[in-house]
Amino acid sequence: MNSKDLYFRLLRYVRPHTRVFALSLLGTVIAAATEPLIPALIQPLLDGSFVAKDPHSIRLMPLLLVAVFIIRGLAIFVGALAMEWIAQRVVTDLRGDLFARLLTLQTAFGAAKMALESPDNPTALRARVTSPGGTTERAISVFQDEQLDKLIARSLAASLALLETPSLLTEELDSLVAKALEAAHHRSEELGNLLGGQS
């Protein structure tokens, strides 16, 4: 993976925070825009107070100079604070995704290891770890009813033989997963209502 790919991959984590990112850029732009104002105000201050001894200039220019420094300081503060906030959010999101990925891999590894080392078949193992009447059982029953195993076999055959458009199979699989998730969600609501009514 080159640095361009890595940049665009990380940019995906910044996208949810575009408003804060825009605020950070605005602060940086304002700070940069006020930089040339400082010498532009110092020259009339020096000329008006020391050379021309203009009382209007002596009173007005220091106030304008202080105002520029206040605006510049606020802009730098807002820009830095917003950028730091985004950096913290990106790191938090990356850690969450990494943890979820590691947890998924460990779960898959543990399930595969248990399946290989156990004398029981995978269906019996699944029945031992699935709560009877629970959400996982409901989702698995949808996969079985919709013949997920045949869809996977067809997807593999299509990938090898390039017989079907992969997007059609992806849509079919997405639809099946959505249906299984909906069944699991419905079952969790049923269990919540059932257990909530017992208190």
For CA atoms 125, 131, 137, 139, give the dihedral sign: negative
- 41-82 pLDDT, tens digit per residue, is 787 777 767 776 777 777 777 888 889 899 999 999 999 999
Among left, alpha and beta (phi > 0; psi -120 to 50; other), residue 120 is beta
Distance CA 65, CA 129 (A): 72
Which pLDDT band holds residue 37 (cuts at 50, 70, 90)?
confident
The answer, yes or no, to whether residue 123 has pLDDT greater than 70, is yes
Least confident of 10-24, 106-120, 156-170: 156-170
Distance CA 180, CA 186 (A): 10
Domain ranges (residues) in the chain: 3-117, 130-196
